[in-house]
Structure 1
Amino acid sequence: MMNPKIRTIYKISFQLLLLILLAFTARGQEDPPRPMKVSTYQHLSFGAFINGSSGGTITIDPGGSRNITGDIIPIYHGYQYHPAIFEVEANAGVVISILNGPDITLTGSNGGSMQLHLGQSLPVSPFINSTHPPFKTQIMVGGTLMVGNFLANPPGDYTGQFFITFIQE
C-alpha cells in the first residue's frame, strides 16, 4: 500500500498537470490558400484626342494622370481617360505579383493601328494582399499609347485586348 502523503502529492501533481493542459488552447495550421479571383472593374481608356502631323504618345499612369507628348491635342468633351482597374479577392498575407503581357496592336474602326505598352501597377508589384475575402483589393494598371500622324491613324475608335497575369505566392 502507498504512503498517504505520497498519494496526496500524486493527486495534487496530477490536478496541476491537468489544469496546465486545459489552460493552453490548441491551434491547427492555417487554412490552405484559396484560389485567387480576378475581375475587371474598369477598362483602360486614353480619352479623346486629335493627332497632328507627327504623332506622339499618350500615357495614363496607374493613379489616373494623363501625359501627352508630340503634337497630340487632348479633347475634354466628356470623353474620360483612366487606368484599367482589376479587383482581386485573395487571402490576406499572400504575395501577389503582376506580369504584363507583350505590347499589343489596337485596330481602328476607320483603319489604322496603334501600339499599346502596358505600364506600372498601383499597388506596385509585387505586394502583400491585406484584405480578407470577401473584400477585394483594387489594382490599377496604366499604359502608353504610341500614336502616329493623322494619315496613319485616322479618327475613330481603336480597340484591342491585352493580357495580364496575376501570380499568387
Structure 2
Amino acid sequence: MKSRKGYLLLESIISLFIIVTISLSLYSFLFFSNKYKKTIEDNVQLYEQGEEMCYQINKVIENSNGIISIGDLNGNTIKGDTSSYIKINSIKCEYKNQYRNVKDKEVSYKSNKKLFINTLNSSGNSEPGGYEIGDYVDYISVMIENNKISVKLNLSKNDEKYETTFKSYIKKF
C-alpha cells in the first residue's frame, strides 16, 4: 500500500470548494430567476388590471348621457376644461333620461387602492355594493378638454409600477 502523505486532505478541500461553488451558483441562479419571475408576474398583472380598468371606465363614460360631476381628492367638484391632470376620487355619469329609467353610475377610487363601479341613488350618493373593477391603483387622474376626457391610471404592485392613459368622448359635461 502506498503512502499518500497529505494528498487526501488536499483532495477533500478542493472537492469541498468545488461543491460549495456549484451550490452557491445554483442558489444565486434560483434566487434571481425567482425574483425575475415575480417581477414579470407583477408587470403582467398590472398590465392586465390596467387594460381591464380602462375598458370598464371607458364603457361607463361613453355609454352614459354625460358626466354629472367629477370629484377631486379634496372633495371639490371639477367644472369645465382643465389644463393638466387632476387627481380624482370619483366620476359620476348620467344614465337616467325620459326614455329609460336606469340608475346613474359612478367610478370611484377608494383609499384601499381599489376602483369600483357603483350605482347612484336619487340623491346622487353611492348605493351600497357595487363591483370592483381593479386594485393596485395608486391614483386616478383626469384632464378634460374639448368634450374629451383623458383618464390616467397609475398602478403599482410591490416595486413594479404601470401607467396607462386613454381618452373618452363626453356627450355633455
Structure with greater proportional strand content: 1
Structure with greater Cα Rg: 1
Structure with greater proportional helix content: 2
TM over 0.5: no
TM-score when normalising by structure 1:
0.35
TM-score when normalising by structure 2:
0.34
